[in-house]
């Protein structure tokens, strides 16, 4: 009888203790399965009641954290969607602006090509054999050259505007128009020519609120003599046998657009040209071109190629020089405009 009573009391006690533990265990399984809405009933056993309270607090905290997380995710998702929409709108505007700018640059590039001297114009100059080449490094370059002939006087200009892009291209077009005007006015004095040209460029640069300027070489040819003035790269005077005289232009002028009055810095040299003699002009894009080994093409190599091919026509000299330059550059990207002008007195 005592044994039966003892066993019954034991079973009842075990059930009384394990039932709330089973509830906590089952609630834990639901919690692990994602059902966060769990709450365990109270117990008369102090230790189990403490465990129950801890479990219920943890379950509420998890539920609150999950609900807060869901709200944050929804909020961030909404913000991300708004930002994505704004970025898409900005991208559309940017594409439209790029198309507009590309169209404007293409128009300016076409204008630059249109105002270059045509082969028929160069061929019409009886005393000189002339060939020119210009290739911009970007959509719109800052290089410029022109050959104009009026009343037997041939005016040759070559220049290099700082930088690239729209402003440089506009300044190049301005320069061509001003040179054409001065040449049509038959202004033959190099000091007055360059001083007037500079004041025109300077005032337009000030109006544009730009920091652009340009170097320029001015050559006037008449009666077998050529007057050379302006500040630019070296002018190469090539004699009939291929001998080259390098004329330093540093003290013959001043960059256009930097100062309103440059007349005090302008000077000139006079060179006689015999049949077979000539002049080669270029911009710094040629000697400063680099290959994949970062080596410069250099003025010495340019002179060597010109000298070796001087027995050919101006066109063939130009083609040989550009071909040698391209062979030197190889696959390396061209970072500056390339301009070359060859003029040779006919035999």
62 with 120, same domain: the answer is no
Considering the domain boundaries, does residue 120 fall inside one? Answer: yes
Q: Which of 243, 225, 212, 218 is nearest to 146 (CA)?
A: 218
Domain total in the chain: 2
Measuring CA to CA, how many Å separate 43 from each of 31, 58, 342? Answer: 20, 17, 106
**Average pLDDT over the chain, rounded to whole?**
84
Considering the domain boundaries, does residue 193 fall inside one? Answer: yes
Question: Which residues neighbour 34 within 8 Å (Cβ) at sequence distance 6 or greater?
Answer: none
pLDDT of residue 260: 92
Measuring CA to CA, how many Å separate 54 from each of 60, 114, 154? Answer: 10, 87, 101
Q: What is the mean pLDDT of residues 31-58?
A: 63
Considering the domain boundaries, does residue 17 fall inside one? Answer: yes
pLDDT confidence bin for 7, thresholds 50/70/90: low
59 with 196, same domain: the answer is no
Measuring CA to CA, how many Å separate 75 from each of 67, 71, 93, 148, 327? Answer: 12, 6, 27, 70, 60
- 211 or 40: whose pLDDT is higher? 211
11 with 141, same domain: the answer is no
Considering the domain boundaries, does residue 184 fall inside one? Answer: yes
12 with 156, same domain: the answer is no
pLDDT confidence bin for 215, thresholds 50/70/90: very high
Considering the domain boundaries, does residue 96 fall inside one? Answer: no
pLDDT of residue 36: 57
Token representation of residue 127: 């005393």
Considering the domain boundaries, does residue 107 fall inside one? Answer: no
Q: Which of 68, 99, 125 is the last residue of a domain?
A: 68
pLDDT confidence bin for 116, thresholds 50/70/90: confident
Check which CATH number belongs to the domain holding 257 and give it. Answer: 3.60.40.10
Residue 282, judged by CB atoms within 10 A of its CB (0-12, 13-18, 19+), counts as buried
- 38 or 344: whose pLDDT is higher? 344
The dihedral over CA atoms of 138, 140, 143, 148, expressed in degrees to the nearest 10, equals 140
Question: Which residues neighbour 269 within 8 Å (Cβ) at sequence distance 6 or greater?
Answer: 227, 228, 229, 247, 252
Q: What is the mean pLDDT of residues 218-232?
A: 94
Q: What is the mean pLDDT of residues 123-143?
A: 83
Residue 48 has pLDDT above 70, yes or no: no
Domain range for 8 is: 2-68
Q: Which of 68, 89, 106 is the last residue of a domain?
A: 68
Contact 60, 37 (CB under 8 A): no
Q: What is the mean pLDDT of residues 329-334?
A: 83
pLDDT in tens, 164-184: 777 777 888 888 889 989 988
User: Comparing 31-35, 156-160, 200-204, which segment has the lowest mean pLDDT?
Assistant: 31-35
Residue 130, judged by CB atoms within 10 A of its CB (0-12, 13-18, 19+), counts as buried
Considering the domain boundaries, does residue 252 fall inside one? Answer: yes
11 with 153, same domain: the answer is no
174 with 41, same domain: the answer is no
Q: What is the mean pLDDT of residues 206-226?
A: 91
Indicate yes or no: pTM above 0.75.
Answer: no
188 with 323, same domain: the answer is yes
């Amino acid at each position: 009888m005592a044994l039966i009573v003892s066993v019954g009391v034991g079973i009842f006690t075990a059930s009384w203790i394990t039932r709330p533990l089973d509830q906590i265990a089952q609630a834990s399984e639901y919690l692990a399965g994602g059902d966060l809405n769990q709450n365990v009933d109270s117990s008369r056993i102090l230790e189990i009641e403490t465990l129950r309270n801890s479990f219920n607090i943890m379950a509420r905290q998890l539920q609150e954290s999950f609900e807060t997380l869901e709200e944050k995710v929804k909020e961030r998702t909404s913000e991300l969607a708004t930002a994505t929409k704004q970025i898409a709108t900005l991208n559309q505007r940017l594409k439209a602006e790029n198309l507009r700018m590309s169209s404007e640059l293409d128009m300016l590039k076409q204008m630059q090509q249109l105002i270059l001297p045509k082969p028929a114009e160069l061929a019409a100059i009886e005393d000189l054999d002339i060939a020119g080449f210009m290739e911009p490094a970007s959509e719109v370059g800052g290089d410029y050259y022109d050959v104009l002939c009026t009343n037997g006087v041939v005016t040759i200009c070559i220049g290099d505007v700082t930088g690239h892009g729209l402003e440089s291209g506009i300044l190049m077009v301005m320069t061509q128009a001003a040179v054409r005007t001065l040449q049509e006015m038959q202004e033959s004095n190099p000091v007055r020519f360059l001083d007037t040209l500079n004041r025109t460029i300077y005032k337009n640069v000030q109006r544009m609120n730009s920091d652009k300027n340009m170097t320029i070489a001015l050559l006037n040819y008449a009666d077998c003599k050529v007057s050379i003035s302006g500040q630019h790269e070296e002018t190469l005077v090539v004699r009939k046998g291929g001998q080259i005289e390098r004329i330093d232009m540093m003290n013959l002028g001043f960059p256009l657009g930097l100062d309103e009055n440059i007349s005090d810095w302008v000077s000139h040299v006079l060179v006689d040209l015999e049949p077979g003699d000539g002049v080669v002009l270029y911009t710094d894009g040629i000697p400063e071109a680099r290959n994949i080994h970062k080596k410069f093409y250099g003025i010495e190599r340019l002179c060597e190629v010109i000298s070796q091919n001087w027995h050919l026509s101006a066109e063939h000299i130009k083609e040989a020089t550009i071909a040698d330059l391209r062979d030197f550059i190889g696959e390396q990207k061209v970072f500056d405009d390339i301009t070359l002008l060859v003029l040779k007195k006919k035999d």
